[in-house]
Amino acid sequence: METLALPPQATQVGLAVDVAAFAMHGGELQVLLVQRGELPHARAWALPGGFVHPGEDLHEAALRELRTETSVTLEPRHLEQFYTFGAPGRDPRGRIVSVAHLAVLAHGAVDVTGGGHTLGAGWFPAHRPPALAFDHAAILTRALGRLRVRLEYAHLALEFLSDTFTLPELQRVHEAILDRPLDKRNFRKRLLAQGLLVASGERRSGVGRPAQLYRRAKGARAAAL
């Protein structure tokens, strides 16, 4: 593969990935953060991320960083890059370009501890995060914007839930991402009209009337891009 040399003007830069990983927890949209163990920004919270290995695809690198910097073991239900941050000076160590990714984790995958060279990991409210290292606040803001857009196009909300779920649960996912309340009747009408959901048995929640359980209809795949 190395049949030709890189031309002399080829700037060598550090290539990194950062991952904004979201999940629902306690009825709220949460983002996964790690506490840095090294300079720069030691002890500051940051998005999980790190350098891409030689020969490794960007997508693989994002998956690896998610697994090694946190104790998240489940595969993300959704992973896509959404923007590349490359301003000179965004990292004091030199020219580092980061391809930012958006990940969605299913409901179960919420217990995390740190891993690798981080001091810890945890979930934080996505719309009110703590102070973040580097330009990660800007990355998170943009990730939330992309998440909102994807909610309309693809059926990304389903990826936050287990295989079976209730409509009120699904509505809470939409509300958490859009950060505003939705009308119950209109929400149900719209979702059921799409024909992507099929009912199954019942379920009792702690209190109140039990909710109908739904499942994604087979043959319903997200419309990508």
Partner DNA sequence: CCAAAAGTGTTCCGTCTACACCCATGG
Partner DNA sequence: CCATGGGTGTAGACGGAACACTTTTGG
Summarize as ranges the residues that interact with DNA (CB under 7 A).
Answer: 166-168, 183-186, 188-190, 193, 202, 204-205, 207-212
CB of 187 to DNA, least distance (A): 9
Nearer to DNA, 211 or 222 (CB): 211
- Quick one: which H or E segment has residue 69? helix 58-69
Nearer to DNA, 86 or 210 (CB): 210
Quick one: CA dihedral 79, 85, 91, 96, positive or negative? Answer: positive
CB of 149 to DNA, least distance (A): 15
Nearer to DNA, 84 or 200 (CB): 200
Q: Identify what 131 binds: a copy of itself, DNA, none; CB under 5 to 8 Å per kind.
A: none
| Token duo for residue 18 | 């950062």
Nearer to DNA, 193 or 224 (CB): 193
Alpha-carbon distance of 99 to 84, in angstroms, equals 4
Alpha-carbon distance of 48 to 45, in angstroms, equals 9
Q: Identify what 225 binds: a copy of itself, DNA, none; CB under 5 to 8 Å per kind.
A: a copy of itself
| Token duo for residue 124 | 């934080």
Chain residues that interact with a copy of itself, rule: CB under 8 A: 1-7, 9-16, 39-40, 50-58, 81, 83-84, 86-89, 92-97, 99, 142, 145, 225
Q: Helix, strand or coil for residue 71?
A: coil
The residue type found at 27 is G
Nearer to a copy of itself, 108 or 145 (CB): 145
Q: Identify what 142 binds: DNA, a copy of itself, none; CB under 5 to 8 Å per kind.
A: a copy of itself
Q: What's the distance, CA 160 to chain centroid?
A: 10
Alpha-carbon distance of 173 to 23, in angstroms, equals 9
Q: Identify what 167 binds: a copy of itself, DNA, none; CB under 5 to 8 Å per kind.
A: DNA
CB of 214 to DNA, least distance (A): 9
Alpha-carbon distance of 24 to 161, in angstroms, equals 8
CB of 220 to a copy of itself, least distance (A): 22
Nearer to a copy of itself, 27 or 86 (CB): 86
| Contacts for 66 with CB less than 8 Å, ≥ 6 apart | 19, 21, 32, 48, 72, 76, 103
